[in-house]
Structure 1
Amino acid sequence: MSGGHSTYTPSSGLGRWIDQRMPLPRLIYDSFVAYPVPRNLNYAYTFGGILSIMLVAQIVTGVVLAMHYAADTTLAFTSVEKIMRDVNSGWLLRYLHANGASFFFIAVYIHIMRGLYYGSYKAPRELLWILGCIIYLLMMATGFMGYVLPWGQMSFWGATVITGFFTAIPLVGDWIQQLLLGGFAVDNPTLNRFFALHYLLPFMIAGVVVLHVWALHVTGQTNPTGIEVKSKTDTVPFTPHATIKDAFAMIVFLAVFAYFVFYIPNFLGHPDNYTVANPLKTPAHIVPEWYYLPFYAILRAITFNIGPIDSKLGGVLAMFGSIAVLFFVPWLDTSKVRSAVYRPWYKLFFWLFVINAILLGWLGSRPAEGVYVIMSQIGTLYYFGFFLIIMPVLGLIETPRKLPNSITEAVLEKNKGAASAQPVGAAAAPETKG
C-alpha cells in the first residue's frame, strides 16, 4: 500500500515552484488525500486521528499554562488558583488541559484494545506496534509528572509513594529515587524537575508519533478482516472516505469532552488534590490518577515474597512487567489469523481481558485490604495469563473460522447479509391498485 507513483499535480506556478524545492504539499496530498485505505475500516480506526488532535490540544494549552505557572513549592498551588481566577480564560485552559489528559488516555486505551482485537501488531507491523508502546510509556511519564504540578495533597503524596517504590530495586534504587527527587524528599528540586520534564516530553511524544505515522504509511493500515490488500478494489482514497468518518468520530468525541470541561470539569480529579500539599498530613488513601489505577492494583497485588524477591520489589517488577509485556505481543501471539472476528475463542478471552482491566482499575481505587487484595491478585494473574499463556497456546490449538478471499469479498458478503436480513416488504413498495 505504500508503493506507487504520486498523482499530485500543482495547480499554479507558485505551487510548481514550491514543489520543486520543498514538496511538502505533495507529501500532504499523498499521505492524507490520495493515500489508499482498506474500504472496510470501521469507527474503531478513527482513534488515531482523535489522538493526534488531543496531542495538539495538550501541547497548545500546556504551553500557555506554563507561561503563568510558578514551579516553586511555595507558589505552585497559588499560581494554579491565579490561573483559574485572574488569567483571561485561564479556567478554560486549565480544565481543557486537565480533562484533556484523561480523554487522551481514554482514546489511547481504545486504540490499544482495537490493536489487540484486530491483530494490528502482527508482521509486518511489529515496529509500528513497538513505537505505539513507546508513545504510551512517554504518555504515562508525562501524565505522572503533570499530576504533581498543582502541588495538592494527592500530588505531593502520590509523588512520594511512587518514587519511593524505586528504592526496592537492588543497588541502583536509591540512586534513581534521589535523581528523580533532586534530594532525599519531595521538595522544590522535585517540582522543578517534574515541570521541566512535563514540558519536554510532549514534544518527544510528537516526534515518536511522526515515526509511528511514517511506519503506518510504509506497511499500510490493517482492517477488521485482518486480510492484506490484494487489489485496488480493496481500497478507497483516504479523502473523502476516511476523513469524513474520522471527522464525525472526532465531533462526537470532542462533544463528550466538552461536556466534561463545561459541566463536570472536576469529576475526574481527586478531591484531596484541591487542598494545598501538606507533608505533615497523610491522606486516608493515596491513589494516582484514574488511568494508572489498573497498574496500581497490580503493584499492590504482590503481598508475598517470591524466593529472594521481597513483596515490595515483586510489586514493582509486576507493575513494570505489565507494561513491558506489551512490547512482546507480536511474538507472543502465535495464531496465523490476525483478526479476532475469525477467532471465536480468542474473542471470548479478549473481552474477559477488557473486563478484567476495568476491574483492576476499580480495585486500584480501593483500600489495599481484605477481599480487594485477593481480587487484585486474581486480576493480575489473568492479566499476565492472557499475554503469556492464552495468546501463545490459543494460537496453536484454536480452529479459526474461514477467512474471505479478499477485503472486497468480505464487504460484499456483509452487504448481502444485511440486505437479506431486511423484512420482506422493505425491499419494494407495496403494490397498489388503481
Structure 2
Amino acid sequence: MSFPWAKHYEPKAPVMRWIDDKLPLPRFVYNAIGAGYPVPRNLSYFWNFGVLAGFCLVLQIVTGVIMAMHYAANTQVAFDSIEHTMRDVNWGWLMRYAHANGASAFFVVVYIHIFRGLFYGSYKAPREMIWLLGVVIFLLMMATAFMGYVLPWGQMSFWGAKVITGLFGAIPGVGEPLQVWLLGGFAPDNAALNRFFSLHFLLPFVIAGVVILHIWALHIPGSSNPTGVEVKSESDTVPFHPYYTAKDGFGLGVFLIIYFAFVFFAPNYLGHPDNYIPANPLSTPAHIVPEWYFWPFYAILRAFTADFILPAKLWGVLAMFSAILCWFFLPWLDKSPVRSGHYRPLFKWFFVVLVVDMLVLFWLGGAPAEEPYVMFSQIATAYYFLHFLVILPIVSMVEKPKPLPFSITESVLGSDEQAVLGDKPAAAS
C-alpha cells in the first residue's frame, strides 16, 4: 500500500546507512511494520488475530525443532522417545506441552481470524489474493497437524492415521494404490511414521513461506477495516507503529495468560487419554476421534451414511474436502458491493446461524458415530453447504444494505463537516 503521506525510512547512523544501501532490510521492516505503513485508524481487537497467528507459527517451529532433537521416528521407540523427552530431558515437558497446546492455540486463533474475515468481507476485491493464500495456509495447517498427531504413536495416533489415510481408498480406481503409496505399505508402520515425521518437520517452513506471500499481498491494497470503506485521506490512517504494535502487544499478553494457563495447569485437557497408551494394531479404541480442531470436518465426513450413485464413504470424503475448498470461491459467490457485515442486516443474521452451525459441528465431530448425532450431523452439514452455495449468493443480491459512512474518519469521529472533509478545513462562506 503506497500513500503520499506515508513516512519513508531515512537512516541517520552511518552503520545503518551502509546496511540499508547494501541490503535494504531495515527499510523493508520499517515499511512493513513501522511508521512507514499507514493502517486504518478504526481497527478493532479482531484484527489482532493475524499477528497472534504469526506468533503461534513461530512458537510451533521453535518448540517443534527442539522436540525433533529428541524424537525417534521408529514405531518401536517413538512412544518411548516422547516419554523420554517428557521425563529425562531438561525442560522437555515444557517443550512438549507448549507444542501440543500451541497447536490448539494456533487453530483457535486461525478460526477466529477466518470468521472475522467472513463477517467483514475480507475476501472481497481488491483482497481476493490475501483470502486465497489464507485458505492455502489453513489447508497446510491441517495437513501438518494431522501428521504431528501421528508422531507420538499412541492409540489415537495409530488409529487416526489408519482411518484418515483409509479415506483415500474410497477414490475409485486409484484409491487403494494411492493409500499404499502414502503409507509406504498396507497399514501405518515405520515407513508411514518416517514420512509423516519428515513432512511434519518440513511443512511449517512451507507455511512460513506462504505467510510471507500472505503479508506481501496484504501490503498491496492495505488492511481492511470494520466499515469496509477504503482509505480516502491521511486522517483515515495511523502509523502501524506505535499504535498497533502497542495494541497487538496487549492482545499478545492476554493470549499468553490463557495459553500458559493451559500449559501449566491443564496441559492434557485438549488431548485424548487413549494417546497415552502405546499403539496397538490389534486393539481398536471404542471411540476413534481426531484432535478437536478437526471435529467439524470429521462430522461432515460421517454425515454420509447411504450409497447414492457413489459410495457413502466417497461422498463423505468429497464433502469434507469441499467444506474448505468452497471458501476459495467466496469472492465470487458473494456479489454484495458492501464488505462489512455491520451494514448488511440480512447477512448478519445468517452469519450468526453459520457460527452456531459451526459450533454444533464441533460438538458432533467429537460425539460417537450413533444416533441422534449422525442425524444432527446431516442437518448441520446440509446447512453449512446451503449457506455458502445458496444463501450467501441470494442474500448478496436481494438485501438492502445500510448507508455506509463517507470515510473511516467519519465512522470514528462522527458525521461533522471536519470529519467528512478529512484534513481540509471547511471553506469560509
- SS of 2:238 mapped into structure 1: strand
Alignment of 1:115-130 (within 5 A): 115-130=117-132
Q: CA deviation at 1:6?
A: 5.5
Amino acid paired to 2:2: S
Q: What residue number does 1:22 align with?
A: 23
**CA offsets per residue over residues 351-408 of structure 1, 9 Å max, x none?**
1111111110110111111111110001001110110011100000001111111100
Partner residue in 1 for 2:344: 343
- Work out whether 1:160 is the aligned partner of 2:162: yes
In the alignment, the residues of structure 2 paired with residue 44 and residue 85 of structure 1 have an alpha-carbon distance, to the nearest angstrom, of: 39
**How far apart are residue 345 of structure 1 and its match?**
1.1
**CA–CA distance in structure 2, aligned partners of residues 266 and 2 of structure 1:** 47
- Within 5 Å, give how 1:264-343 maps onto structure 2: 264-306=266-308, 308-343=309-344
2:176 alignment partner in structure 1: 174
Q: How many residues are matched?
A: 414
Amino acid at match of 1:147: Y
Change (3 A) 1:363 1:36: same
Amino acid at match of 1:406: S
Secondary structure at 2:404 match in 1:
coil
- 2:255 is matched by which residue type in structure 1? F
CA drift of 1:3 comes to 4.5
Q: Deviations over 1:278-313 (max 9, x none)?
A: 00000001000000000000000011223x211010
Residue of structure 1 in register with 2:46 after alignment = 44
Counterpart in the other structure of 2:60: 58
**Cα distance change on mapping 1:6 and 1:19 into 2, 3 Å:** farther
Deviations 1:113-170 (A, max 9, x none): 0000100000011111000000000000000000000000000000001100111111
Taking the TM superposition and a 5 Å limit, the aligned residue runs for 1:67-216 are 67-216=69-218
Q: Quick one: structure 1 residues 298 and 356, their matched pair in 2 at CA, closer, same or farther if it must change by over 3 Å?
A: same
Which residue of 2 is the match for residue 426 of structure 1? none
What TM-score does the superposition give when structure 1 sets the normalisation length? Answer: 0.94
Q: Deviation digits for residues 171-226 of structure 1, max 9, x if unmatched? A: 22112211211111111101000000000000000000000000000110000000
What displacement does 1:87 show?
0.3
Partners of 1:61 and 1:261 in 2: CA distance: 13
CA RMSD of aligned residues (A): 1.1
Mapped partners of 1:368, 1:85: distance in 2: 36
* Matched letter for residue 387 of structure 2: F
- 2:414, 2:146 → 1: CA distance? 47
Equivalent position amino acid for 2:236 in 1? D
Q: Give 1:428's aligned residue.
A: none
Runs of 5+ consecutive residues of structure 1 not aligned to the other structure: 416-434
Distance 1:71 1:218 in 2: 43
Structure 2 runs not aligned, ≥5 long? 417-429
Aligned-pair CA distance for 1:2: 3.0
SS at match of 1:236: strand
Q: Cα deviation per residue 1:88-114 (whole Å; 9 max; x = unaligned)?
A: 000000000000000000000000000
SS of residue paired to 2:414 = helix
* Distance (whole Å) between structure 2 residues aligned to residue 414 and residue 206 of structure 1: 42
Query: Partner residue of 2:234?
Result: 232
Distance, in Å, in 2 between the alignment partners of 1:200 and 1:30 is: 30
The equivalent residue for 2:10 is 9
For 2:31 and 2:255, the matched residues in 1 are separated by: 27
Structure 1 residue 32: Cα displacement = 0.8
**Code of the aligned partner of 1:231:** S
Q: 1:200 to 1:400 in 2, by over 3 A?
A: same
Task: Give the secondary structure class of the aligned counterpart of 1:219.
Answer: coil
* C-alpha separation in 2, matches of 1:283 and 1:413: 60
Q: Which amino acid in the other structure matches residue 106 of structure 1?
A: V
Supply the AA of the counterpart residue of 1:341.
Answer: H
Aligned equivalents of 1:176, 1:351: Cα separation in 2: 40
Task: Give the superposition deviation at 1:414.
Answer: 9.2
**1:360 to 2:336 alignment:** no
1:396 paired residue number: 397
Q: Provide the C-alpha distance between the structure 1 equivalents of 2:310 and 2:336, rounded to a whole number of angstroms.
A: 34
Q: Distance in 2 between matches of 1:25 and 1:170?
A: 54
